[in-house]
Chains A and B, each alone.
Chain A
Amino acid sequence: MTGLGRIGLVAVRELRAERREPDGIVAAVTFIAVLVLLESLVVGPVVARDADIAPALFWIALAFATILATMRSFDRELEDDALEGLVALPGGRDALFGGKVVAIAVVLAIVALVGGLLSLVLLDLPLALPLHLVVVVVLGVVALPPVVVVDVVLALRLRARAALVPILALPVLVPQLVAASRGASAAIAGDAVGALSWAGLLFAFAVVYGVIGLTIVPAAIE
Chain B
Amino acid sequence: MIETTFWRGSVPRVRPLLGTVAAASFVVASYMALVWAPTDAVQGDVYRILYVHVPLAWLAYLAFVIVFLASIGWLWTKRPVFDAIAVASAEIGVLFTGLFLVAGSIWAKPTWGVWWTWEPRLVTTAIMYVGYLLLRSLSPDFSRRATRAAIFGIVAVIDVPIVHLSVLWANSLHQLPTVLRASGSPALDSAMLLTLMVSLAAYTLIYVYFMSARISLELARQERSWATT
Interface of A with B (CB < 8 Å)? 147, 150-151, 154-155, 158-161, 164, 167-168, 170-172, 174-175, 178-179, 182, 201, 205, 208, 212, 216-217, 219-220, 222
Are the C-beta atoms of A174 and B166 separated by less than 8 Å? yes
Are the C-beta atoms of A219 and B151 separated by less than 8 Å? yes
* Cβ of B39 under 8 Å from chain A: no
User: CA–CA, A155 to B138, complex, Å?
Assistant: 9
* B residues near A179, Cβ cutoff 8 Å: 166, 169
* Cβ of B222 under 8 Å from chain A: no
User: CA–CA, A86 to B18, complex, Å?
Assistant: 51
User: CA–CA, A160 to B120, complex, Å?
Assistant: 26
Q: Quick one: CB contact mask for B154-184 with A, threshold 8 Å, 1 for yes?
A: 1110110011011001100000000000000
User: CA–CA, A21 to B120, complex, Å?
Assistant: 38
Are the C-beta atoms of B75 and A212 separated by less than 8 Å? no
Known: A164-B135, A167-B131. 6 other contacts (CB 8 A): A159-B138, A171-B123, A175-B162, A178-B166, A217-B151, A219-B147
Partner of B152, one of A154, A175, A201, A222: A154
* Cβ of B20 under 8 Å from chain A: no
User: CA–CA, A174 to B118, complex, Å?
Assistant: 13
Given the interface pairs A155-B135, A175-B159, the reply to whether A220 lies near B151 with Cβ below 8 Å is: yes
Residues of chain B from 106 to 159 with CB closer than 8 A to chain A in the complex: 120, 123-124, 127-128, 130-131, 134-135, 138-139, 144, 147-148, 151-152, 154-156, 158-159
| Complex: chain B residue closest to A150, CB-CB | B155
User: What are 9 A-to-B residue pairs whose CB atoms are below 8 Å?
Assistant: A155-B135, A158-B139, A160-B138, A167-B131, A172-B159, A175-B159, A179-B169, A208-B158, A222-B147
Distance of A92 from chain B, by nearest CB (Å): 18
User: CA–CA, A219 to B151, complex, Å?
Assistant: 8
Partner of B134, one of A164, A178, A208, A217: A164
Q: Which of B135, B151, B169 has the most CB of A within 10 A?
A: B151
User: CA–CA, A161 to B120, complex, Å?
Assistant: 25
* B residues near A205, Cβ cutoff 8 Å: 162
Distance of A25 from chain B, by nearest CB (Å): 26
Are the C-beta atoms of B75 and A171 separated by less than 8 Å? no
* A residues near B159, Cβ cutoff 8 Å: 171-172, 174-175
| Complex: chain A residue closest to B165, CB-CB | A175
Q: Which of B124, B159, B166 has the most CB of A within 10 A?
A: B159
User: CA–CA, A79 to B211, complex, Å?
Assistant: 42
Given the interface pairs A158-B139, A222-B144, the reply to whether A167 lies near B127 with Cβ below 8 Å is: yes
7 tightest A-B contacts by CB?
A171-B127, A171-B124, A168-B131, A175-B166, A167-B131, A158-B138, A154-B148
| Complex: chain A residue closest to B132, CB-CB | A168
Given the interface pairs A219-B75, A220-B147, the reply to whether A168 lies near B169 with Cβ below 8 Å is: no
Distance of A100 from chain B, by nearest CB (Å): 16
| Complex: chain B residue closest to A209, CB-CB | B155
Distance of A118 from chain B, by nearest CB (Å): 26
User: CA–CA, A222 to B166, complex, Å?
Assistant: 34
Distance of A174 from chain B, by nearest CB (Å): 5
Are the C-beta atoms of A154 and B75 separated by less than 8 Å? no
